[in-house]
Structure 1
Amino acid sequence: MTANKFSTTKDILKFEGSDARGYWKRFSMLLALSVVIATMGLLRNSSAVVIAAMLVAPLMAPILGVAGALVLGRVQRAGYLLLVVTLSASACVVLAWFLVYMSDFPKGILIQEQVLARTDPGIEDLIIALAAGVAGAYVQIQKSEISLLPGAAIGVSLVPPLSASGILLYFGEYLYAYEAALLFVTNLGAIILSACGVYVASGALAAVLNKGKRRTGFSIGVTVTIVGVSLISYQLVRSTYERYLETRTEADLVEALQAWAYPTSLEIIRADVNVKNSTADLWLIVDLSLDTQDLIATVSDLLPQHLKDRQIRTVLKEILGPDYVVAVRYQTRIAGKLELATDKVTTAPSPDKPKD
């Protein structure tokens, strides 16, 4: 098998040559379209639209080009293609931010579940990206298996986490934006590493082993890739372990609270545990007997004075106007913050307050 079969200039990427300008136009157009589709899909919370963006995104080509150049020992070529990917990724984030900025007029955009789903990368995302990289590289070599390419594109998420990062930057959620960007970097490193493995197994390395300069370039490039993926893996493993601890602790907490309340009815609305910060957020509803109603104050007596001074009816009328009929269902609850080390009880923070 010859090195030409893996030429990033001829078979994977055509940013150079007589048709370089045309390729740049097509690449830029498809990349912009994929960002638009992904961003709108995330804002609409539509997984089907986000999948469509994965199919349109052209980023897999230069990423496979990086892997092909590393295997051939062309470090300079790999660096150039990696720069193309980096600049393209940055442009995706900026474009997503701009799209949200234009869409949020008047104010009406919320951070949807599809966006937050891309802010918690774990080791399973690395495994998916490794498998998708193998599939993408295999399809690139075996042209007869081109029908598998859409599956590889869907399997790895490239543009959606970049769009999610741009959306979160617009809302000032910088930590979540970093986590979404980390998901993209995870996919990038895993695809390069697994694609290198496929190219080596397919015989590309044998064509350049007898050339000392390229052999050195291959060793340096693959070593840097392995080190980078290892550093990412460490962070992902730690995040996955923390998530496992939180899930297990939440399950144990729910079970213990239900056993504590029995036979009184206890509804656990929310039980969130943050292992990193050693905090927990519990929303509980305890059913009281019907005759308790006569023993407690009325709802109006329990309300803070500032809520009595300006009623909710006034706020609703200011926003909706006098022609609306509004159904309001609410319940009172008692909120407190318990410091388990000192048994101190203070006022609970607002449930809308961002978690550290």
Structure 2
Amino acid sequence: MKTTLSDDINEIKGEITKTVSHGRVYNFFRKLFGIRDDMMDNAEIQQMMEDNTVISGSNMWILIMAIFIASIGLNVNSTAVIIGAMLISPLMSGILTMGYSLATFDLTLLRKAFTRFGIQVIISLIASTLYFAISPLNVATSEMIARTSPTLWDVLIALFGGIAGGIGNTRKKKSNVIPGVAIATALMPPLCTTGYGLATGQLRFIAGAFYLFAINALFIMLSAAFITKLMRIPTHKINDTKKERKIHRFVVLITILTIVPSVLIGSYKVYETVMKQNLLSYLDNSFTFSDTKVVQSQIDIMNREVSLSLVGTQLSDDVIAVLEKDLSNYGLENYKLNITQNKAVTADNSDQITIALQEQTIESLQKQLDEQEKNIKEQQKELDEIKSTAASLPDMKKLSEKAAAIFTEVSDIGCGIMTDSEGEYVLLCGTTKKALSADKQQTIKNWLKTETGASRAVLKITVK
């Protein structure tokens, strides 16, 4: 019997209706996306989380070694070494435990997990600060600088990473999810960069890097709490509803305070990227002169200025006015156009570009040289002041010998200049066979002040 196309369509519709009616589609997607099928028992999860709060010597030593490895990787700008340190680090388990205890309202477990995590953070900061304090390499690398400007994308990475970590951490069969989350969210590098900031006294690295670490830790914890709720793990009952609401309000407040700066920073970076793309479009479409080339372009977001350096045939004021007016067509309205035109030369365009670039390089190097000379002069001035101060001080060795020759009743004499809260004073130490009289002590003090010009003199004479 020959079937028509409409018969085939009706047959397919019937099959689809039959499948849906039997719940096969629902079961298929439930099995495909379900997160409870291969989940550990609730008791096993609870025990694992309890184990994560135990402070052990082995974990602390592993953490310290991971911190040193990450610090070295940052110091030598090695991405591979940094990734290795993130794989070793035991920080992730504590954060996931805090998220779990927050979702289940297990406040005792939350306190234990937070205490362990706080100790780990303090030890990490001490270890990284110690490393960078003794390291001969004290120049910030690109890996360090990259950890000082957290944005909204870091929040999203932490959220998605926390969800993946919360799911992977509760499976019967363990996978490489936790190490992957540790690499993606990068907990170790910003913590070590904070140590670099502490060791070198640079607030930018301290604030920026620790803020990134706080973002990662907080949003991994919150997303882990979210996934714990989805897994329908039983919660601990809190009889005090006011206390429960207080916890909710505190978590919401901390979340808002943490996310707002990252949103602002991220918005600025997006705006900066868009403006740079607009500038490239503007240059490609507006600067189509055959005898004039743009050799350098720069956009100043804060001052709203576009600076261009040209070589070749000089543009007239009328042409520049048209070019400035054309900025608004590329989203650069209210920006000022600054054009530097290099003098035309007889060489071809490639030679003109080379010369212009060399001139700009020389100018940039000259600015750096001037700044370095200024710093050298300031340091030389400080050194001269120190030398001048040192030269004005009396020779303590000669002063001790002279005092020993005059005050023969005092032996083992030593003199020196000391400083306390009241300022500088001259100190004489020595020993005698019997205590000196008050008049004799005053005589020695007056002599010391006369010889050194000090306003105060102190004696520390021991009777033997």
Same fold (TM over 0.5): yes
Q: Distance in 2 between matches of 1:250 and 1:118?
A: 22
Conserved? CA contact 2:101–2:107, under 8 Å: yes
- Distance change in 2, residues 1:245/1:330 (3 Å): closer
Partner in structure 1 of residue 261 of structure 2 = 235
The amino acid of 2:59's aligned partner reads F
TM superposition shift of 1:179? 1.1
2:109 is the counterpart of 1:52 = no
Q: Which amino acid aligns with 2:49?
A: I
Corresponding residue for residue 49 of structure 2: 12
Q: Please tell me the residue identity of whatever aligns with 1:203.
A: R
1:61 paired to 2:89? no
Correspondence for 1:332 = 362
| Partner in structure 2 of residue 341 of structure 1 | none
Question: What secondary structure sits across from 1:141 in the alignment?
Answer: coil
Select the residue among 102, 105, 111 that pairs with 1:79: 111
State how far apart, in whole Å, the 2-side matches of 1:149 and 1:247 are.
Answer: 33
Q: Distance in 1 between matches of 2:116 and 2:217?
A: 13
Relative contact order (C-alpha < 8 Å, sep 6+): which is higher? 1
Answering whether residue 310 of structure 2 is matched by residue 271 of structure 1, we say no
Cα separation, partners in 2 of 1:212 and 1:94, compared to 1, 3 Å:
closer
How far apart are residue 11 of structure 1 and its match? Answer: 0.4
Corresponding residue for residue 322 of structure 1: none
Distance 1:157 1:334, change over 3 A: closer
Residue 152 of structure 1 corresponds to which residue in structure 2?
A: 181
Alignment CA distance shift 1:334-1:72 (3 Å)? closer
Q: Does 1:140 align with 2:140?
A: no
Which sits farther off after the overlay, 93-102 or 123-132? 93-102
Q: 1:35 to 1:274 in 2, by over 3 A?
A: farther
* Contact 1:41–1:49 (8 Å) recurs in 2: yes
Correspondence for 2:123: 91
Residue of structure 1 aligned with 2:141, choices 112, 115, 133? 112
Task: Give the C-alpha shift of residue 5 in structure 1.
Answer: 3.8
**Deviates most, 71-80 or 156-165:** 71-80
1:33 equivalent in structure 2: 65
State the SS of the aligned residue for 2:295. strand
- Pair 156,74 (structure 1): closer, same or farther in 2 beyond 3 Å: same
8 Å CA contact retained: 1:2, 1:207: no
Give the Cα–Cα distance (whole angstroms) in 1 for the partners of residues 116 and 269 of structure 2: 34
Query: Residue 208 of structure 2 is aligned with which of 170, 175, 179?
Result: 179
Q: Quick one: which amino acid aligns to residue 263 of structure 2?
A: V
In the TM superposition, what is the alpha-carbon distance from 1:58 to its structure 2 partner? 0.5
**Number of paired residues?**
290
Q: Is the 8 A contact 2:66 2:86 kept in 1?
A: yes
State whether structure 2 residue 196 is matched by structure 1 residue 167.
yes
User: Take 2:309 and 2:125, find their aligned partners in 1: how far apart are those partners?
Assistant: 40
- Name the CA shift for 1:332/1:71 in 2 (closer, same or farther; >3 Å): closer
- When residues 271 and 37 of structure 1 are mapped into structure 2, their CA distance, relative to the original with a 3 A threshold, is farther
Which residue identity lines up with residue 105 of structure 2 in the other structure? G
Paired AA for residue 243 in structure 1: K
The CA deviation at 1:256 is: 5.0
> Aligned partners of 1:15, 1:150: CA distance in 2, in Å?
16
SS of residue paired to 2:300:
strand
Among residues 219, 239, 249, which one is paired with 2:275 in the alignment?
A: 249
Conservation of the 8 A alpha-carbon contact between 1:168 and 1:174: yes
- Which piece of structure 1 moves more, 137-146 or 55-64? 137-146
Q: Is the contact made by 2:165 and 2:181 (CA closer than 8 Å) also made in structure 1?
A: yes
> In the aligned structure 1, how far is the partner of 2:102 from the partner of 2:160?
19
1:274-322 deviations in whole A, cap 9, x for unaligned? 54xx477968574644459xxxxxxxxxxxxxxxxxxxxxxxxxxxxxx
SS at match of 1:36: helix
| Structure 1, gaps ≥5 residues long | 293-328, 336-348
Q: What pairs with 1:316-355 in structure 2 (closer than 5 Å)?
A: 331-333=361-363
CA distance 1:351–1:12, change in 2 (3 Å)? farther
Deviation string for 1:89-122 (max 9, x for gaps)? 2332232121112112xxx432111111111111
Q: Deviation at 1:214?
A: 8.0
Provide the C-alpha distance between the structure 1 equivalents of 2:144 and 2:373, rounded to a whole number of angstroms: 18
Structure 1 residues 66, 351: CA separation in 2 closer, same or farther (over 3 Å shift)?
farther
Alpha-carbon spacing, 1:255–1:139, altered in 2? closer, same or farther (3 Å): closer
Question: Which amino acid is the alignment partner of residue 332 of structure 1?
Answer: I
Contact 2:64 2:124 in 1 (8 A): yes
The one-letter code matched in structure 1 to 2:185 is: V
Encode CA deviations 1:134-169: one digit per residue, 9 max, x unaligned: 111112211314332221221211111011121133
Specify every segment of 5 or more residues in structure 2 that has no aligned partner in the other structure, as ranges.
Answer: 1-39, 313-342, 348-358, 375-464
Deviations 1:8-34 (CA, angstroms, capped at 9, x unpaired): xx3024377xxx5xx521221111111
My pick for the range that moved more, 90-99 or 79-88, is: 79-88
Distance 1:164 1:94, change over 3 A: same
Distance in 1 (alpha carbons) for counterparts of 2:248 and 2:164: 19
Assess if the C-alpha contact under 8 Å between 1:92 and 1:163 holds in 2.
yes
Assess, with a 3 A threshold, how the Cα gap between structure 1 residues 2 and 142 changes in structure 2: closer, same or farther: closer
C-alpha RMSD of matched pairs (Å): 3.6
Looking at structure 1, the residues matched to 52 and 176 of structure 2 have their Cα atoms a distance apart, in angstroms, of 25
**Hey, which of these two has a bigger chunk of strand by percent?**
2
8 A Cα contact 2:106 2:235, kept in partner: no
Q: Which has the larger radius of gyration?
A: 2
SS in 2 for 1:265: strand
Shift of 1:247: 2.2
Q: Distance in 2 between matches of 1:352 and 1:140?
A: 57
